């Protein structure tokens, strides 16, 4: 404002000079015409100058007075605003010296059990650190603004203000003076929390074994049983004021507020155990799979996300709840053994669909998981024969070697057909075309495949797997044959071949590889075997299987057997029934040796679960085995692994064996704590 007035004054003075020059010129012109007007003209001009000087002086005085009054008014208003601020206000230096506190600040915090000076010191230290860590341009500023949020004794405050450079200390350290306003946003935050609590989550509830149960009871008992199950579900929904609508004979849609969902989480979703109380003589207990999600802006998006979540729950064996909230997954239940419930119809459908996809492809790539085993190699070879029968160029992506598959690779190379069938990572990437079909076997996890880059480069992907589904599954697969109830990927591939309408002639090596895959994952038909497992084995026997030859592939040399015996001998027993041991050598075959040692530990009386840790390079492998009482999959999933209830694994990096062992113990303790609570 003063600058503006000064400019106006300068403009006025310059205009007056012009007017005086014009008047002088007019008087001179009159005097030239009439000499008698010279004296009167001088007198009149002198009077005009005197009047102009007096008028200018008066105007300047008036402007000065106005500027003075304006400055006083502004200062007074500013001081009054600070003193009577409706917000708690404090002026403090970044060295902790409090210059002034408003009355509102004193009354706001006097009843709180905190030392305000110490608290303010911590705040300004943070402000100073922020200023010092800012870029050079910001640091050189004379002033700046600040904003932060703090929770003080249960209240939410938004702190806003500004800082200016004040002085330097004796150590030449720059200090700042800050003005801080404390805006109480507790009520606003509470309203936001209430609004979030009222957000709707969409859930899907499924009866896992509906078909099996209803087929094995009489027509008279069926309505009563279904009514019992539905009553448990509806009563559970009413407990949390949620809406449940039956959408299919074995499926229910549930709409629940987020706050209520948290309450259900706190109760550990007791509906899982309640449904199991239904007594059905000589029939498997009914179980539920439940998936909830709040992922999405609209209810339609949340519903789509809930369908994905329930697929994960079913892919993990059912009898569990998975909640996807705020982008994170939480798992409840899932401790019971999977029940075989696959039908031949699905295998036929998958076989037909896969055949058509292979027909339409330019070439086919087959890929298993990293550090492949006989199940991944065997299932890949089975599908290799299907693709070759259709006349397609087919390659298996594999760079794995080790005691687990060395004998098999040696045997395969004796046959000229397979010499060029196995290709490296780079060869696989170079062979991709817009119409390449990629078939992933024995895994569904993005980061666990042999070549993760292929998933991004190939447009058509098929997944064939039997492991419990994890959250980082391959989402863009156009066909998925994921049966957690199967013993192995080789069993699933055998069914695809058996139910194919093509005349497929498996070679002796392919038959033996498929059987070896089943043997590996079932531990010679002792774990996770169902009727379909033996049917697949019978089909392979008809194809000319030499069981003795396959058995030789699994034989260990004397040195390896001695290593395994040493691992078993130094095992540690925790929780009375769990054995933990380590393989100390940094060995490229550590994962295979650890798996064999874990299997061996289960042969000891009183051991219900075993874990063996081994190291290859910077990676630590953990193999977990169980005879069914303890869910090793849930334990190792806490370490980023996965698998099945009785057979699972995990990989850790940048950690010593001892640290990994302690981490495993912590997760085992967590597992038992969750069961007990």
Measured CA to CA, the distance from residue 607 to residue 596 in angstroms comes to 15
Q: Residue 573 pairs with which residues in a beta bridge?
A: 579
What pLDDT, on a 0 to 100 scale, did the predictor assign at position 7? 45
Q: Please choose, from the candidates 664, 633, 91, 659, the residue with its C-alpha nearest in 3D space to the C-alpha of residue 320.
A: 633
Is 371 a residue whose pLDDT tops 80? Answer: no
Is 424 a residue whose pLDDT tops 60? Answer: yes
Q: Contacts for 597-602 with beta carbons within 8 Å, 24 or more apart?
A: 597/564, 597/567, 597/568, 597/623, 598/623, 598/624, 598/625, 599/523, 599/625, 600/564, 600/565, 600/568, 601/568, 601/571, 601/625, 602/626, 602/627
Residue with tokens 């289960």: 602
Do the Cβ atoms of 454 and 397 come closer than 8 Å? yes
Measured CA to CA, the distance from residue 371 to residue 348 in angstroms comes to 30
For every residue of 221-290, DSSP letters joined together read HHHHHHHHHHHHHHHHHHHTT-EEEEEETTEEEEEEEHHHHHHHHHTT-THHHHHTTS--TTSPPP-EEE
What pLDDT, on a 0 to 100 scale, did the predictor assign at position 295? 87
Give the other-Cβ count within 10 Å of 548's Cβ: 7
Those residues with Cβ within 8 angstroms of residue 221's Cβ, 6 or more apart along the chain or in another chain: none
Do the Cβ atoms of 283 and 213 come closer than 8 Å? yes
The answer to whether residue 49 is domain-embedded is yes
Do the Cβ atoms of 254 and 202 come closer than 8 Å? yes
Q: Which of 206-210, 536-540, 558-562 has the highest mean pLDDT?
A: 536-540
The answer to whether residue 558 is domain-embedded is no
The answer to whether residue 71 is domain-embedded is yes
Residues 97/103/105/106 CA torsion (nearest 10 deg)? 80
What pLDDT, on a 0 to 100 scale, did the predictor assign at position 63? 54
Least confident segment among 64-73, 80-89, 238-247, 362-371: 64-73
Domain count, the chain: 5
Is 647 a residue whose pLDDT tops 80? Answer: yes
- Regarding whether 439 and 585 lie in a shared domain, the answer is no
Is 14 a residue whose pLDDT tops 70? Answer: no
- Regarding whether 391 and 370 lie in a shared domain, the answer is yes
Those residues with Cβ within 8 angstroms of residue 367's Cβ, 6 or more apart along the chain or in another chain: 380, 396, 397, 398, 428, 438, 439, 440, 441, 449, 450, 451, 454
- Regarding whether 256 and 318 lie in a shared domain, the answer is yes
- Regarding whether 525 and 574 lie in a shared domain, the answer is no
For every residue of 590-645, DSSP letters joined together read HHHHHHHHHHHHTTSTT--EEEEEEEETTEEEEEEEESSSS-HHHHHHTTT-EE-S
Is 577 a residue whose pLDDT tops 70? Answer: yes
Do the Cβ atoms of 522 and 487 come closer than 8 Å? yes
The answer to whether residue 338 is domain-embedded is no
- Regarding whether 156 and 36 lie in a shared domain, the answer is no
Measured CA to CA, the distance from residue 253 to residue 244 in angstroms comes to 6
Least confident segment among 85-99, 122-136, 152-166, 315-329: 122-136
Structure token pair of residue 439: 């078939």
Measured CA to CA, the distance from residue 238 to residue 235 in angstroms comes to 5
Distances (CA, A) of 279 to 284, 341, 407, 563: 9, 20, 51, 49
Mean pLDDT of 574-600: 88
CATH number, position 629: 3.10.310.30
Structure token pair of residue 319: 């009898």
Is 420 a residue whose pLDDT tops 90? Answer: no
Domain's final residue, options 157, 192, 227: 192
Mean pLDDT of 146-171: 72
**Strand positions, DSSP E, 357-466:** 363-367, 393-397, 422-423, 436-441, 460-465
The H or E element containing residue 91 is strand 89-93
pLDDT band at 12 (very low <50, low <70, confident <90, very high): very low
The H or E element containing residue 652 is strand 647-653
Least confident segment among 368-382, 464-478, 483-497: 464-478
Distances (CA, A) of 537 to 188, 375, 467, 487, 490: 66, 14, 20, 11, 10
- Regarding whether 585 and 540 lie in a shared domain, the answer is no
What pLDDT, on a 0 to 100 scale, did the predictor assign at position 66? 54
- pLDDT tens, position by position, 107-126: 777 666 566 666 676 777 77
User: What are the backbone angles phi and psi of residue 610, rounded to the nearest 5°?
Assistant: -140, 145
SS3 of residue 169 by DSSP = coil
Domain's final residue, options 83, 110, 125: 83
Give the other-Cβ count within 10 Å of 672's Cβ: 13
The answer to whether residue 602 is domain-embedded is yes
What pLDDT, on a 0 to 100 scale, did the predictor assign at position 386? 94
Measured CA to CA, the distance from residue 505 to residue 491 in angstroms comes to 17
Q: Which of 324-338, 391-405, 632-646 has the highest mean pLDDT?
A: 632-646
Is 240 a residue whose pLDDT tops 90? Answer: yes
Structure token pair of residue 673: 């704590």
Q: Domain containing 481: what range?
A: 344-553
- Regarding whether 487 and 367 lie in a shared domain, the answer is yes
The answer to whether residue 339 is domain-embedded is no
Question: Across the beta sheet with 328-333, what order do the strands follow?
Answer: 243-248, 251-257, 200-207, 288-293, 320-325, 328-333
Least confident segment among 68-77, 493-502, 576-585: 68-77
Domain's final residue, options 192, 227, 262: 192
Q: Please choose, from the candidates 468, 432, 404, 446, the residue with its C-alpha nearest in 3D space to the C-alpha of residue 621.
A: 404
Measured CA to CA, the distance from residue 288 to residue 187 in angstroms comes to 40
Do the Cβ atoms of 631 and 578 come closer than 8 Å? no
**Can you give the length of the chain in residues?**
677
- Regarding whether 214 and 115 lie in a shared domain, the answer is no
- Regarding whether 642 and 510 lie in a shared domain, the answer is no
Do the Cβ atoms of 468 and 633 come closer than 8 Å? yes
CATH number, position 534: 3.90.1640.10
Distances (CA, A) of 14 to 20, 62, 526: 10, 19, 109
Give the other-Cβ count within 10 Å of 246's Cβ: 13
Least confident segment among 64-68, 407-411, 593-597: 64-68
Which one has a higher pLDDT value, 68 or 668? 668
Question: Across the beta sheet with 578-586, what order do the strands follow?
Answer: 572-574, 578-586, 609-616, 619-626, 647-653, 642-643
CATH number, position 103: 3.30.450
Mean pLDDT of 462-472: 84
Mean pLDDT of 602-610: 90
What pLDDT, on a 0 to 100 scale, did the predictor assign at position 244? 93
- Regarding whether 95 and 79 lie in a shared domain, the answer is no
Mean pLDDT of 304-308: 89
pTM: 0.61
Question: Across the beta sheet with 393-397, what order do the strands follow?
Answer: 422-423, 393-397, 363-367, 436-441, 460-465, 479-482
Those residues with Cβ within 8 angstroms of residue 494's Cβ, 6 or more apart along the chain or in another chain: 382, 514, 518, 536, 539, 540
Least confident segment among 218-227, 378-387, 397-406, 467-476: 397-406
- pLDDT tens, position by position, 477-535: 888 888 887 889 999 999 999 988 888 999 988 999 999 899 888 878 877 788 888 99
Which one has a higher pLDDT value, 578 or 47? 578
- Regarding whether 144 and 219 lie in a shared domain, the answer is no
Structure token pair of residue 582: 């380590």
Measured CA to CA, the distance from residue 616 to residue 518 in angstroms comes to 26
Instruction: State the angle between helix axes of 489-498 and 374-389 in degrees (0 to 180), rounded to the nearest 10.
Output: 20
CATH number, position 300: 3.30.70.270
- Regarding whether 297 and 216 lie in a shared domain, the answer is yes
Is 6 a residue whose pLDDT tops 70? Answer: no
Q: Please choose, from the candidates 491, 497, 539, the residue with its C-alpha nearest in 3D space to the C-alpha of residue 517.
A: 491
């Amino acid at each position: 404002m003063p600058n503006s007035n000064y400019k106006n004054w300068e403009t006025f003075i310059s205009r007056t000079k012009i007017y005086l020059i014009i008047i002088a010129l007019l008087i001179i012109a009159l005097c030239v015409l009439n000499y008698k007007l010279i004296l009167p003209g001088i007198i009149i001009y002198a009077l005009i100058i005197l009047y102009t000087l007096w008028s200018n002086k008066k105007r300047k005085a008036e402007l000065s007075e106005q500027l003075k009054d304006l400055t006083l008014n502004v200062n007074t208003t500013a001081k009054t605003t600070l003193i009577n601020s409706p917000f708690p206000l404090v002026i403090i230096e970044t060295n902790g010296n409090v210059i002034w506190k408003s009355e509102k600040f004193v009354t706001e915090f006097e009843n709180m059990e905190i030392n305000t000076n110490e608290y303010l010191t911590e705040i300004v230290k943070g402000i100073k650190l922020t200023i010092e860590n800012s870029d050079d341009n910001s640091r050189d500023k004379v002033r700046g603004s600040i904003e932060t949020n703090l929770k003080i004794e249960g209240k939410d405050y938004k702190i806003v203000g500004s800082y200016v450079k004040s002085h330097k200390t004796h150590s030449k350290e720059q200090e700042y003076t800050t003005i801080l306003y404390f805006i109480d946003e507790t009520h606003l935050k509470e309203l936001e929390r209430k609004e979030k609590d009222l957000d709707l989550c969409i859930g899907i509830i499924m009866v896992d074994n509906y078909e099996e149960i209803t087929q094995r009871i009489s027509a008279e008992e069926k309505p009563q049983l279904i009514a019992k199950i539905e009553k448990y579900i509806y009563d559970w929904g009413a407990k949390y004021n949620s809406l449940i609508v039956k959408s299919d004979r074995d499926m229910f849609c549930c709409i629940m507020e987020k706050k209520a969902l948290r309450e259900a989480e706190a109760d550990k979703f007791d509906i899982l155990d309640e449904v199991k109380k239904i007594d059905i003589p000589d029939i498997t207990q009914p179980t539920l799979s439940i998936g909830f999600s709040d992922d999405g802006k609209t209810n339609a998006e949340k519903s789509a996300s809930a369908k994905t979540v329930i697929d994960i729950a079913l892919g993990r064996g059912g009898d569990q709840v998975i909640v996807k909230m705020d982008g994170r997954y939480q798992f409840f239940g899932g401790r019971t053994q999977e029940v075989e419930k696959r039908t031949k119809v699905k295998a036929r459908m998958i076989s037909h669909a896969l055949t058509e996809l292979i027909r339409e492809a330019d070439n086919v790539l087959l890929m298993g998981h990293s550090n492949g085993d006989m199940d991944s190699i065997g299932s890949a070879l089975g599908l290799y024969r299907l693709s070759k029968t259709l006349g397609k160029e087919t390659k298996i992506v594999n760079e794995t070697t080790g005691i687990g598959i060395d004998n098999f690779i040696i045997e395969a190379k004796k046959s000229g057909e397979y010499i060029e069938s196995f290709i490296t990572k780079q060869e696989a990437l170079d062979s991709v075309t817009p119409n390449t079909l990629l078939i992933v076997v024995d895994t569904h996890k993005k980061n666990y495949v042999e070549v993760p880059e292929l998933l991004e480069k190939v447009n058509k992907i098929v997944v064939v797997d039997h492991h419990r589904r994890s959250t980082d599954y391959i989402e863009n697969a156009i066909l998925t044959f994921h049966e957690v109830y199967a013993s192995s990927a080789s069993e699933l591939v055998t069914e695809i071949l058996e139910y194919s309408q093509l005349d497929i002639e498996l070679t002796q090596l392919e038959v033996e590889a498929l059987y070896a895959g089943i043997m590996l994952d079932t531990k010679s038909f002792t774990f996770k075997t169902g009727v379909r497992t033996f049917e697949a084995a019978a089909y392979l026997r008809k194809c000319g299987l030499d069981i003795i030859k396959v058995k030789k592939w699994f034989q260990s040399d004397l040195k390896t057997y001695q290593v395994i015996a040493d691992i078993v001998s130094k095992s540690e027993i925790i929780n009375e029934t769990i054995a933990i041991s380590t393989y100390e050598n940094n060995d490229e075959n550590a994962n295979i040796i650890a798996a064999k040692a874990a299997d061996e530990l289960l042969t000891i009386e009183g051991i219900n679960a075993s874990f063996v840790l081994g190291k290859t390079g910077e990676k630590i492998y953990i193999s977990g085995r169980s005879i069914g009482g303890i869910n090793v999959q849930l334990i190792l999933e806490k370490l980023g692994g996965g698998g099945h209830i009785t057979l699972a694994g995990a990989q850790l990096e940048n950690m010593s064996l001892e640290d990994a062992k302690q981490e495993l113990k912590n997760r085992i303790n967590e597992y038992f704590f969750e069961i007990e609570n």
